[in-house]
Chain A
Amino acid sequence: MPGSELTPRGASAPRVTVWLIILLALVVGLALWSLNVGASRMSLLNVLTGDPDDRLSKILFASRLPRTLALLLAGSALAVAGLILQMMARNRLVEPSTVGTMEAAALGLLVLAWLAPGAPLPLRFALVSVFALGGTLIFLAVLRRIALRSALIVPLVGLVLAGVIAAAGALLAQQLDLSQSLRAWNSGDFSAVLRGRYELLWLAAGLTVVAMLAADRFTVIGLGKDFATNVGVNYGRLMLLGLLLVAMISASVVVVVGAIPFIGLVAPNLVRWLCGDQLRRSIPLVALLGAALMLAADLAGRLIIHPFEVPSSGLLAVTGCLVFLVILIRGRKQWA
């Protein structure tokens, strides 16, 4: 079947290593740059060269560093979540924001704002996770009803489902007079990230590590239920683990900064393109590329109309759409 993980083009170990070094350098470079850019003047060099006065370290540790860390953590977590979702749906054209996971998470935030506006963070996170889980489950349930003849119907159903969930959310928001807030939750933006407001993303980082360790088995899931059961994998339990990982990673990002589109699609597909289909070895590359994309999008958003900002989600959506279209058009013969 086209679009599945069935065509192993083995990734040679040296190639992966080379890309690992390149991407690591890219991420470090972008992170340093990100620390250096902002509305108020501050150069990293000042911290190194001499009097790191109070104002400087305040900006650095209260605003710049949290923002950069949040970008790193969210980007890599979303990239890995996208990869897992792709393995579970057995289709490389899906990711949390295009199947309804993120939209459902935003709906969860809306319901929270309605029923329990002052809820503590753990409760918020738990409820939003439940919604994200529900959204992903609906998608997988609809998929199960489709005989997988065309690899393209999977992302198509996902996109429309995401649209339906978003429309339901918009209706509810209109009724509750929360449209403005819903709009903010739907367009991820790192400009409000400060110390004390992003730490939930460390949980996402932990989940990402779990996902990386379990990646071996997710590769087996990509080969289908029968095959997975044959080689001794507990298919049901693994699917549940994958669902939980995707839902919780998406939920933590949506709670902290709002929905971030397309990273989960772009990063795994670019890595496939660079290093071949066997993603077990290259899963760190996926995480690094996700972080790099997130950092680059946020930097671009801050630099285009400095000192104003364009939210990174808009830039990512444009980039993601273009990458998606290129993948579709390049592979159009195999999908026809």
Chain B
Amino acid sequence: MGLTLNPVWRLSLLALLAAFCAVGFMTLRVQTDWGFILEYRGPRLLAMLLVAWAIGLSTVLFQSITQNRVLTPALLGFDVLFLLVQVVVLLIWGAAQWQGLALPLRFGLEVLAVVLLALLIFRLLFSGAVRSLHLLILIGILAGILFRELTDLLLRILDPGVLAIDRGRSAASFNRINVSLLGVSTAFVGAASLYVLWIWRKLDVLALGRDIAVNLGLDYQRLVLRLLVVIAVLVAAATALVGPTLFFGLLVANLAYVLMGTQQHRWTLPASVCVGVICLVGGQLLLEHVLASSVPLSRVIELVGGLLFIALLLRGVRQ
């Protein structure tokens, strides 16, 4: 980045561009009356904003905790874990009884299960037994494949006829957004964000690494634990809305670092959200309304993100 703009300007530009995308998404090629457009595009826009928010925040936080730019919650199989929990709950509880529960309660229970499982995985991974970053990511990706295949298998065994419908859920889709969950996930994401707002001053210290942070008087262990809960909640909310997104967080967070030219969280956190909005809403705007293409945005993100990941790996090895 040859530009020597200060972070305020950079972030303002990003925010402006994001707002521009959002307005464009709502207004471009409007052919019917506004009531219909609001009803049809509004919830989708809201969902994409929420997803960008949740994934941007969770990835940057996670990368600060783990102190690297390659690892993301999705790469550790977090989002697929959520899908697996959903299916297992269905299996144990029975679909009819489960559907009878109130939506927020259901979602809350699922999130709780994911948080507990995620913490368990983290204990295993960060207890010192596994020291290699590559091993960590490899285990994560394999766990992702394993969870996805298990989910698929369970669905097939549960109901051999229904698999075609649910199978599509194992890949992210920004066209078929689970709008009924908007209210609940807004609440969860909001609560998680409030906590981040509460402690954001500690984040820059946290990112210095365990030893320095402890020396500077940070209650490291407790903060990390709480942040992991926050991350699990955010990832669960995003996954519930659009499905798993393997490389989206990686893409957004790294773009935010590069575009902001700083590591301070007060800049990188909002920037990652803005970049997420630009990628999601702008991308959807471009594909859907400008190119009138049926190509799913999630595939494009997966492709670009995968290439970025390989590039990051190659660079990391060379250093």
Chain B residues with CB under 8 A of A318: 146, 149-150, 153
Complex: A168 Cα to B309 Cα, angstroms: 15
A321-336 to B contact mask, C-beta < 8 Å, 1/0: 1101100110010011
Question: CB within 8 A of A325: which of B131, B143, B299?
Answer: B143
Q: How far is the CB of A294 from chain B (nearest CB, A)?
A: 17
Question: A146 at interface (Cβ–Cβ under 8 A)?
Answer: yes
B134 close to A314 (CB less than 8 A): no
Complex: A183 Cα to B170 Cα, angstroms: 13
B281-319 to A contact mask, C-beta < 8 Å, 1/0: 000000000000111100110110011011001100110
Q: How far is the CB of A7 from chain B (nearest CB, A)?
A: 20
CB-CB nearest in chain B for A166 = B302
A321 close to B145 (CB less than 8 A): yes
Q: A163-B246, A321-B146 are in contact. Are A305 and B157 (CB under 8 A)?
A: yes
Specify the main secondary structure of chain B where it touches its partner. helix
CB-CB nearest in chain B for A93 = B138
Specify the main secondary structure of chain A where it touches its partner. helix
Question: A17 at interface (Cβ–Cβ under 8 A)?
Answer: no
A290-331 to B contact mask, C-beta < 8 Å, 1/0: 000000000000001100101000110110011011001100
A167 close to B303 (CB less than 8 A): yes
B310 close to A168 (CB less than 8 A): no
Q: How far is the CB of A30 from chain B (nearest CB, A)?
A: 21
Number of residues on chain A facing chain B (CB within 8 A):
40
B310 close to A314 (CB less than 8 A): no
Chain B residues with CB under 8 A of A304: 157
Q: How far is the CB of B171 from chain A (nearest CB, A)?
A: 8
B306 close to A163 (CB less than 8 A): yes
A142 close to B310 (CB less than 8 A): yes
B142 close to A324 (CB less than 8 A): yes
B134 close to A152 (CB less than 8 A): yes
B306 close to A325 (CB less than 8 A): no
B153 close to A167 (CB less than 8 A): no
Question: B113 at interface (Cβ–Cβ under 8 A)?
Answer: no
Q: How far is the CB of B164 from chain A (nearest CB, A)?
A: 9
Question: A150 at interface (Cβ–Cβ under 8 A)?
Answer: yes
A305 close to B160 (CB less than 8 A): yes
Question: A116 at interface (Cβ–Cβ under 8 A)?
Answer: no
Q: How far is the CB of B307 from chain A (nearest CB, A)?
A: 6
B112-134 to A contact mask, C-beta < 8 Å, 1/0: 00000000000000000111101
Chain B residues with CB under 8 A of A20: none
A314 close to B149 (CB less than 8 A): yes
A149 close to B317 (CB less than 8 A): yes
Chain A residues with CB under 8 A of B138: 152, 155-156, 159, 328
Chain A residues with CB under 8 A of B139: 325, 328-329
B132 close to A171 (CB less than 8 A): no
Question: A46 at interface (Cβ–Cβ under 8 A)?
Answer: no
A164 close to B307 (CB less than 8 A): yes
Question: B152 at interface (Cβ–Cβ under 8 A)?
Answer: yes
Complex: A174 Cα to B287 Cα, angstroms: 13
CB-CB nearest in chain A for B130 = A332
Within 8 A of B (CB), among A153-195: 153, 155-157, 159-161, 163-164, 167-168, 170-171, 174-175, 183
Question: A147 at interface (Cβ–Cβ under 8 A)?
Answer: yes
Complex: A157 Cα to B310 Cα, angstroms: 6
A160 close to B306 (CB less than 8 A): yes
Chain B residues with CB under 8 A of A167: 299, 302-303, 306
Question: B258 at interface (Cβ–Cβ under 8 A)?
Answer: no
Chain A residues with CB under 8 A of B153: 310, 314-315, 318
| Seed contacts A142-B310, A171-B295, A183-B167; 10 additional CB < 8 Å A-B pairs | A146-B317, A156-B141, A157-B313, A163-B246, A163-B306, A171-B303, A174-B296, A305-B160, A314-B153, A317-B149
What are the nearest 5 A-B pairs in CB distance? A164-B306, A321-B146, A152-B134, A308-B160, A317-B149
* Residue ranges of A at the interface with B (Cβ–Cβ < 8 Å): 142, 145-147, 149-150, 152-153, 155-157, 159-161, 163-164, 167-168, 170-171, 174-175, 183, 304-305, 308, 310, 314-315, 317-318, 321-322, 324-325, 328-329, 332, 335-336
Interchain Cβ contacts under 8 Å between A and B, 25 examples:
A145-B314, A152-B134, A152-B135, A155-B138, A156-B137, A159-B141, A159-B142, A160-B141, A160-B306, A160-B309, A304-B157, A310-B153, A310-B157, A314-B152, A315-B153, A318-B146, A318-B150, A318-B153, A321-B142, A328-B139, A332-B132, A335-B132, A335-B134, A336-B131, A336-B135
